[in-house]
Amino acid sequence: MVHVLDVLSLCRVCGYDLGGGWNEKLEPEYEVCPCCGMESGTYDQWLATIVRYRANWLARGAPWLLPRLRPANFDLRKQMEAVLELDGLPPHPNRPDP
Ligand SMILES: [Zn+2]
C-alpha cells in the first residue's frame, strides 16, 4: 500500500513527480505541476479539491501545462497509479478533509 509520506514529491492530481511539492514537515512548496497545472498547497490540501481538479482536468482531455516536458512514452494511467491508490486515504495526516 502506498503511504502519503512516501509520495510527497508526486502531484496528487496526476502523479507527475514534481521533485518537491510538500516537505517532510508537511508544508506546501507551491510547485506548479507541468503536467496538470495543479499548484501544491493550493488545490491538493483536501481530497475533495484533488478529486474535483482531476475530474475537470481529465474532462478537458488531460492537457499538459508544459507540453515540451511530456515524455515520449507518457502513460497517464501508469503515472496516476500511486495517487489513485492514495485517494482512499486522507491526503495529508494533519489536514483533514473539510
Ligand atoms: Zn499534476
Residue 54 domain-assigned (yes or no): yes
β-sheet bridge partners, residue 32: 39
Residue 15 domain-assigned (yes or no): yes
Cell of 44: 491538493
Which protein residues have their CB within 5 A of the ion that is ligand 1? 11, 13-14, 16, 33, 35-36, 38
Domain count, the chain: 1
Residue 96 domain-assigned (yes or no): no
Residue 27 domain-assigned (yes or no): yes
Question: What is the Å distance from ligand 1's center to 3 Cα?
Answer: 18
Residue 92 domain-assigned (yes or no): no
- Domain region containing 79: 4-86
Residue 95 domain-assigned (yes or no): no
pLDDT digits (tens, 9 = 90+) for 76-98: 989 998 888 877 755 454 454 44
Q: Which residue, 72, 61, 79, is CA-closest to 18?
A: 79
pTM over 0.85: no
